[in-house]
Amino acid sequence: MKFTSKLPETGITIFSVMSALANEHKAINLGQGFPDFDCDIKLRQLVTKYLNDNKNQYCPMPGLLALRQSISKKINRSYGMAIDPATEICVTAGATQALFTAITAFINQGEEVIIIEPAYDSYVPSIQIAGGIPRSYQMTYPDYSIDWNQIESMVNERTKMMIINTPHNPTGTVLAEADLLALENIVANKNIIVLSDEVYEHLIYDEQQHQSVLRFPNLFQQSLAVFSFGKTFHSTGWKMGYCVGPAPLMKEFKKVHQWNVFCVNSFTQYALAEHLQDPDTYEQLPAFFQQKRDYLTNSLANTPLIPKVSQGTFFQLFNYEQISDLEDAEFAKYLTTDIGVAAIPLSPFYSKPPGDKVIRLCFAKKETTLATAAERLAKLI
């Protein structure tokens, strides 16, 4: 059979490759970004409650209204923005589906999308499937900062979208208020949509404040923000997220969403709607994960791995140039097969890897898991 692949250069993701290698060699998996501890028992009890209450049929296409109302209240509490639950929120089958839907809803053949690399690996394939052209700005080790003047120089009449990610996967950096104001100035009075990937919104450390596009009323009018219940509530396997934006943009978003998944599982939406009513469920997360970040950093202090201390997410980068001259993908494989700890290289997050000797480790793990991983990594000299 003859056909033309829409993604001829796409293979298996690095996450699948490294997780399979970790399983094969019984390595501790600090590569793929998932916790090895369960979600709050109260949330599990709520899911069970609504499952037993026969909440098993379709929800409304944009999501259960009670959940959208809970999300709206949470946004107002967190960012001071009044969001209409009827027209400005859509519950999605995880954040990646929301990102894909946003890109395919607005990007047409030949239109350009500016992405900031290293970038989450779903961005470019989604752009290509939509017929768009990704244009990459490259951040580099060690600061991974953004020159907004250079970003502005990339904008032209074909630019339709810009994708930002804060807190940033894989670098663990966060955007400051000045960054969002610079972005707002760049897109003002232009037909450019900002797609803001904010799935780690509550995983931010050292008393910093997450700078969501939802804090900036003018920027919000040109933005779609994507969030993840899986990342927030340690339930990545549920694939539950949501997208927030002004009504005109969300109207187009939902046109694609309805033909993509239509709606997502019902009983979990009922549970999340109730769980979100307690702000402690998400406001205690920074302290919880910062302790894990610090534990991993301190445990590896006597190794030649040089940390890039994470400002947000549940990932931390480590420079290994004092240990090996191997390229990052080969070094990550060496760690997995010989040391027994799986890591993720940064090169797959770039279209043209800069050659930095940097790996990413996930610290969303039990302390016992991190301790055992640190013992194994202590073998590095």
CATH value at residue 210? 3.40.640.10
Asked if residue 326 is part of any domain, the answer here is yes
Contact (Cβ atoms closer than 8 angstroms) between residue 55 and residue 263: no
Higher per-residue confidence, 77 vs 5: 77
Q: Is the dihedral of CA 43, 234, 301, 208 positive or negative?
A: negative
Report yes or no on 236 lying in a domain. Answer: yes
What phi and psi, each to the nearest 5 degrees, are found at residue 327? -65, 155
146 part of a folded domain: yes
Can you give the residue range of the structural domain that contains 253? 41-278
pLDDT digits (tens, 9 = 90+) for 77-106: 999 999 999 999 999 999 999 999 999 999
Same domain, 365 and 216: no
Phi and psi at 316, nearest 5°, equal: -135, 140
Q: Are 327 and 258 in the same domain?
A: no
Kindly state whether residues 177 and 224 are assigned to the same domain: yes
Of 229, 253, 278, the one marking the end of a domain is 278
**222 and 120 within one domain:** yes
What mean pLDDT do residues 167-182 have? 98
How many domains, in total, are found in the chain?
Answer: 2
Q: Are 166 and 119 in contact (CB under 8 A)?
A: no
pTM of full prediction above 0.75: yes
Give the distance, in angstroms, between the CA of residue 69 and the centroid of all CA atoms in the same chain: 23
Q: What is the DSSP track for 26-69?
A: T-EE-SSS--SSPPPHHHHHHHHHHHHTT--SPPPTT--HHHHH
Would you state the pLDDT for residue 34?
A: 85
Q: What is the CATH number of the domain that holds 324?
A: 3.90.1150.10
How many angstroms separate the CA atoms of 376 and 303, rounded?
A: 11
Which of 278, 301, 321 terminates a domain? The answer is 278
Residue 239 falls in which region: left (phi positive, over 0), alpha (psi -120 to 50) or beta: left
CB 70, CB 276: distance < 8 Å: yes
One domain for residues 246 and 341: no
Each residue of 116-165: pLDDT tens digit?
A: 999 999 999 999 999 999 999 999 999 999 999 999 999 999 999 999 99
Last residue of a domain, one of 278, 296, 313: 278
Cβ contact 105:253 at 8 Å: yes
**With bands split at pLDDT 50, 70 and 90, how would you rate the model's confidence at 11?**
confident
CA distances from 264 to 56, 58, 68, 269 (A): 11, 8, 13, 8
User: CA separation (Å) from 84 to 77, 105, 158?
Assistant: 14, 21, 31
User: Are both 77 and 140 inside the same structural domain?
Assistant: yes
Q: 91, 239 in Cβ contact below 8 A?
A: no
Kindly state whether residues 51 and 113 are assigned to the same domain.
yes
Q: Are residues 272 and 360 in the same domain?
A: no
| 304 contacts: CB under 8 Å, gap ≥ 6 | 320, 322, 323, 380, 381
